[in-house]
Structure formats: structure tokens, C-alpha cells
Amino acid sequence: MRWGILGGGTAGPAAALFLARAGHDVVLYERVEDPQPVGAGILLQPTGLAVLRRLGLLQRVLGRGERIDRLSGHTASGRMVLDLAYGDLREGLHGLGIHRGALFSALWDAVKGEPRVTLCTGHTVTAIDETPDGAVLSGLRGHDGEGELWRSEPFDRVVVAAGARSSLRPPGASVKPYPWGALWFVAHQNPLPGVLAQRFRDTRQMVGILPSGEGSVSVFWSLRADALPAWCAAGIDAWKREVAALMPEVPIDAVRSADDVIFAPYFDVVSPTWHHGRTVWLGDAGHAMSPQLGQGANLALQDAAALADAPDLATYSRARSDQVRFYSFASRALTPFFQSSWPILAPARDLVAGPLHAWGWYRRQMVASLVGVKTGFFTEMGVPE
């Protein structure tokens, strides 16, 4: 078949590779004229790494990231809230901290070398029209979607993988910005190798260090989106003192000005289905969620693999339903305990979470959730090899 794919982030290029290697002709549209690797760190779980292995990209990605064996979280006073080791689920299991740009480079370079994929950069898709001959795309061609109008030839199928900000949604989808986001910066120091470490002050302050490969770390700091102007006005030095007071291990001296820090907003996207007519939605375009459980890029990669394995779009939606809906619900339920304007939730979290780690069943369920294999409260898929 002839496939049109919208978006050159994670799900789009991965789907393009799977489909092209299955014998389909693919045209991949990307809004940016000359896409470059950008972004701070992400955590690839064993589920996402398994997809990269299928694509033949695992060794390249492993060489750019850092192995993560454990996730830890403590309150400002040092009380343990989270202490999860991948090896508790299966010996040798691990995650991978990596810069988003490094994952993009691996996928994008592979797509550029795939003969059955045609790249159309500088193309913004604004509409998908169903016709008797197929799905026709239309939009603007030029830098950042400014320029001449264009219209495609019909496609047998269309994949929307244009991210959480996509203007093209499944019927009935709801899109809500989270009140909270995060400030990010990258430092070329690694004080806590092999650990994604976090520190909490009630629910209104959270800082974390994610080793991201090549001797660097990505540091994130929770911030309400509407507090960003006040943060800018207060000055960078006041914030640096605040970060250092909560987590002294943070290499905060790497930040010299506000230009070294970026703010990332988050979105909650809920859809009753991920296909309609000839079109299917993958990744954040169909099911964006809070990054609290570290599943975004991994679910996007799994979406791409599931699409290639499904005989039709309805089968794809059914195949992805249990896992995606579990993580959407769990993310929505857990996030307020770590990132919200409700500090009243913190005492219950701090009192209960740490002691529960001594219960083997609870610990295993938490690690399984981290790894990305849960499909329900009491069900899960197989752990990837």
C-alpha cells in the first residue's frame, strides 16, 4: 500500500521504517525544513529498547545513552518514597537514559537510508480529506508552515504522528494542557551514575537528575506553566539557590543564564479510538500524558511496531488499547502526588509509599509499571528479552 506519515519525531520515523521494510511505499511529511537533533533527556524502557532491536538500531542507541539500573525518590528530609531496581523484575534488565536528539538521529538517519521512504520536509499538513480514491493530505509548504498551498496524491493509509501539539485529532479526542510542566537543562557532569534520582518538597517542588549518555545528565524541575513569568522575573540566581537547597547533587553551576534552561509543557490527550477511516494516530498525537511514568517515547515506539504487525487499523486500535489506557489512567492518578498544587497529598504519599516497598508484590508491580509491561492493574505483557 501507499502510506502517508505526518511527523518526524519518534513514532513517525519508526513506523516509516517498519512499513517500508514490509514492502509498502511511504511518504513522510515533517513540518521543519531541516530537522536537527534537539531536546533534553528521556528514559527508554525495556519495551522501547525491544522495538529498537527489531529495527536494528539498538546498538547505535546504546552507544549514545547511559544504562539506568534504578529509580530513586526521596523527600527533602531524606525519607525514601521510591526505590525501584529493574533487576527486581528480571536479572540484567535496565533502562537507558538518552538525549531525545540522539534517538531522533538514529531513527532519522535510518529513514534517510531507506529506499522506499520519501522525505518531504518543510511541509505542514492541515487537513486530511477522505476521497473515493484514498486519503488526500493538504497544507502549506515552506519554513514553519508559511508558504504555498499543496495537495498530495491519494494515500491508502495515513499515520498521524505529529506530537502532542498536533491539530489533527481522532474524533471525540480531548486535549488538555497540564497545569504543570518542567524546566530542563543539560550538564556535562554525572554525579549519580546509573540512577534516575528525584527529590520532592511536598507536591510543589520536584527536581530530578537523569544520566543521558556521553558523560551528561538532564536535570528537570517542576514548574506550573502560569508561574513561568514570575520565574523569569525572579532571576536565575534565586532559582539556582532553590535547586541546590532541595538537591545539592544537582550540577547547577552548569546554568549560567536563563538561556541555558528550557520550559517543556505537558498535555493530556484522551481518545476513544486511534483510527478513523483510513487514518491512524500514533504516539502523543493520540495519547499524550504526563511524563511521570516515563513512557511517552516507549509507547510511541510500541505503537509503530504494533501498526506494522496489525492486519488492519481496527486491529491496531484493539491491540494498543489495554496498555495505553492503563498508563494514561495511572499517569493521571499518580501525577498529583508528585507534581501538583495540592501539598495535602504529600503526607499520605510519604507515609505509605516507602514502607510498601518491603512488600514483594507491591514492589514487583511498581517495577513492572516502570518497565512498561502493564496492561491493567493485575495483568501485564511479557517482559522483553
CA distances from 75 to 192, 197, 378 (A): 17, 11, 29
- Is the pLDDT assigned to residue 323 strictly greater than 80? yes
Could you state, in order of their start, the residue ranges of all structural domains in the chain? 2-174+267-371
Alpha carbon distance 377, 368 (integer Å): 11
- Average model confidence (pLDDT) for the chain? 95
Pick the closest to residue 114 from 4, 29, 35, 16 (CA basis).
16
Task: Please compute the mean of the pLDDT values over residues 140-153 and round it to a whole number.
Answer: 82
Alpha carbon distance 12, 306 (integer Å): 13
pLDDT digits (tens, 9 = 90+) for 22-60: 999 999 999 999 888 888 899 999 999 999 999 999 999
**Total-model pTM:** 0.96
Strand, coil or helix: 309: helix
CB atoms closer than 10 angstroms to residue 286: 28
Pick the closest to residue 373 from 46, 43, 39 (CA basis).
46
Residues with Cβ < 8 Å from 361, sequence gap 6 or more? none
Residue pair 288/271 in contact by the 8 Å Cβ criterion: no
What is the pLDDT at residue 37? Answer: 82
- Is the pLDDT assigned to residue 167 strictly greater than 80? yes
Pick the closest to residue 167 from 147, 193, 140 (CA basis).
140
pLDDT digits (tens, 9 = 90+) for 50-61: 999 999 999 999
CB atoms closer than 10 angstroms to residue 354: 17
Q: How many residues can be counted in the chain? A: 385
The fold of the 2-174+267-371 domain, in CATH, is FAD/NAD(P)-binding domain (3.50.50)
E strand spans, the chain: 2-6, 25-30, 41-44, 66-68, 70-75, 80-85, 95-99, 117-121, 123-131, 134-141, 148-151, 157-160, 174-187, 195-201, 205-213, 216-224, 262-270, 275-276, 279-281
Task: Please compute the mean of the pLDDT values over residues 188-214 and round it to a whole number.
Answer: 96
Q: Which three cell numbers stand for residue 213?
A: 549518555
